[in-house]
Homo-oligomer: A and B are copies of this chain.
Amino acid sequence: MLKLSAMSFIRQSRRLSSTYVRFDEFLRFRRNQAAKSMLIQVSGKDSSSDVKSYLTSNFGPLAGIYHYSVASSVKRVTRSAPSVNYHWVIAEFENKASLEEALKACRYPDNAVPFRSHMCWFSKPLMGLSKSTTPLDNSIISENLDEKKSSLNIPLPVNSTIAEQMKILQMQMKVSETSMRARFLTVHHLEQSVKALFPNACALPFGSSVSGIGSNSGDLDLVLLLEEKGIFPKSKARQKKIRLQFQRKMLTSGGAADARHQTVRTLELLGDIVRFFIPGYSQTHKILGARVPIIRFVSDFTGLHCDLCYGNSSGVFMSELIYMMGCIDNRFQPLIVTIRSWAAARNITNPVPGAQPTNFMFVMMVINFLQHKQILPTWGILFNNATKEDTRVTEDGIDCTYLRDIGELQKYFFPKNGHTTLEELLYEFFEFYANFDFAAKGISLLTGSTSDKPINTAMYIQNPLDRQLNVSRNVNINEVSRLQNEFRSALRTLEAKSSGQ
């Protein structure tokens, strides 16, 4: 089943683009799922069936139930002590009302700050009652969310082609159903915690969790917006003129420095709330000096490393554009996953920010390469053919108005190279950038071409949304030459492998 020929890729690709799910629909679907779900700590996998029957009989039918385990992040007493696994169940109710019932019934722990959340603990049956006789329910999906952290230890079928291996790698690496639910649940939970103050608040995941190129081990990037209308525009219903308006707080005069100050203060406050009140988060760090200030913390209940930013919706739109690339051509995702895994294995990318290339730069480079091959459209085509419904402008004035209906795209973009295999694309990618004149040329996803650099940096990749910015500004000349040497050495490896076959 995993052995897919190049042709079946192409067929699948065609099928995808006719039945694709728009990014905002995908977000809505997952958010809705999270809003009907609760996260329940159990004593072990065996309890899952018990939870299922308990919830069903007390509160209402479930739409889905997912068990997972994660290693405890609590410090071990001695280094040699075994790390403990915690077990969790994500239970999605069919109806929101059942969840409300369950949360209403939920007890508060004694001697602790009584914090309401969607995160509970399921106790063993009471003494005196006969031991639970719920039969083990094998339909419950179960997963260890700590697994698959290492991308290269995957058993590949013997005699598989490189293209097949790339496809398998992508299937194995991609964010699992359970991890996807855990991510949206984490985001939802944070959103709930600020909704009392800001009832229109909206927290959204972005980055590789939702752009279609992530893995279970990827971090969870999330943004808190004070209004969701920027992302999910509402058709303005004619409403009768209301003479009441809420009082507001005037903190700033509205200048750019003030806006940054407000962002930083808001984030700090959110960080404090996460740190001191919301159960299940630890290791909070404020990284407020960065271009995009963030709060970094660990979600102990899901094992996710979270980066929270505030008010910066352009990251969500960037994720949408990357997501759309995967919908337009299904070779994009296996290609980027392979290249990211390779870059990580060769220590080219580094999770710690510095002078090394980042995963995000590789995404930009892969898209630019596929534009050059006319497999993906230039983003100029998307921007120039936007409809009125596509109008979006971020709070800080970045225009994110681009064509979102991939069906419509067929009018403006005529892809080529539909038969080029993943293996060929991988080879050509390395070749393209091994010979790239980074000293003279920059990369632009808008034109799809390589253009003259507007500024003199070792490497230039124009940020396609905030266009004065260079995504690769931190990369120095040594890293560029190391990068090109790695491309050449990858080429040699691929050549040796294909001549050996």
Using a CB–CB distance below 8 Å, which chain A residues touch chain B?
A: 40-41, 54, 102, 105-109, 111-117, 119-123, 125-126, 192-200, 226-227, 241-251, 254, 265-266, 268-269, 272-273, 276-280, 301
Contacts and interface: CB of A to CB of B under 8 A. Distances in A.
Given A197-B277, A269-B273, A102 B251 contact: no
A252 to B, nearest CB: 10
A199 B107 CA distance: 12
Contacts of A254: 111
A428 to B, nearest CB: 49
A249 B269 contact: no
A200 B108 contact: yes
B54 A119 contact: no
B197 A247 contact: no
A244 B198 contact: no
Copy total for this chain = 2
B265 A269 contact: no
Given A266-B276, A276-B269, A279-B248, A243 B114 contact: no
A102 B102 CA distance: 30
Nearest to A243: B123
11 contacts: A41-B247, A105-B242, A105-B244, A106-B246, A107-B246, A112-B248, A113-B249, A115-B246, A122-B243, A122-B244, A192-B196
B250 A112 contact: yes
Contact of A126 (B106, B111, B194, B241): B241
Nearest to A239: B105
Contacts of A54: 243
A113 B41 CA distance: 36
A244 B121 contact: yes
A129 to B, nearest CB: 9
A245 B109 contact: yes
A250 B41 CA distance: 16
B114 A226 contact: yes
Given A193-B197, A249-B278, A272-B269, A244 B40 contact: yes
Given A126-B241, A269-B273, A246 B117 contact: yes
B244 A115 contact: no
B272 A249 contact: no
A198 B113 contact: yes
A200 B104 CA distance: 12
A116 B198 contact: yes
Contacts of A112: 248-250
A109 B269 contact: no
A123 B245 contact: yes
Contacts of A193: 196-197
A301 B247 CA distance: 10
A199 B54 CA distance: 25
A196 B241 CA distance: 30
A237 B476 CA distance: 69
Given A107-B246, A120-B246, 17 more contacts: A107-B244, A112-B250, A113-B226, A114-B199, A114-B226, A115-B198, A116-B197, A116-B198, A117-B246, A119-B247, A120-B247, A121-B244, A123-B243, A123-B244, A193-B197, A195-B196, A249-B277
**Max chain B CB contacts within 10 Å: which of A112, A120, A122, A226?**
A112
A200 B114 contact: yes
Contacts of A121: 244-247
Contact of A248 (B102, B113, B249, B269): B113
Contacts of A113: 198, 226, 248-249, 251
B107 A242 contact: yes
B248 A276 contact: no
B276 A251 contact: yes
Question: Which among A115, A199, A265, A269 has the greatest number of chain B C-beta atoms within 10 A?
Answer: A115
A120 B197 contact: no
A371 to B, nearest CB: 38
A114 B265 CA distance: 16
A198 B115 CA distance: 5
B265 A276 contact: yes
Contact of A114 (B198, B251, B273, B279): B198
A355 B266 CA distance: 40
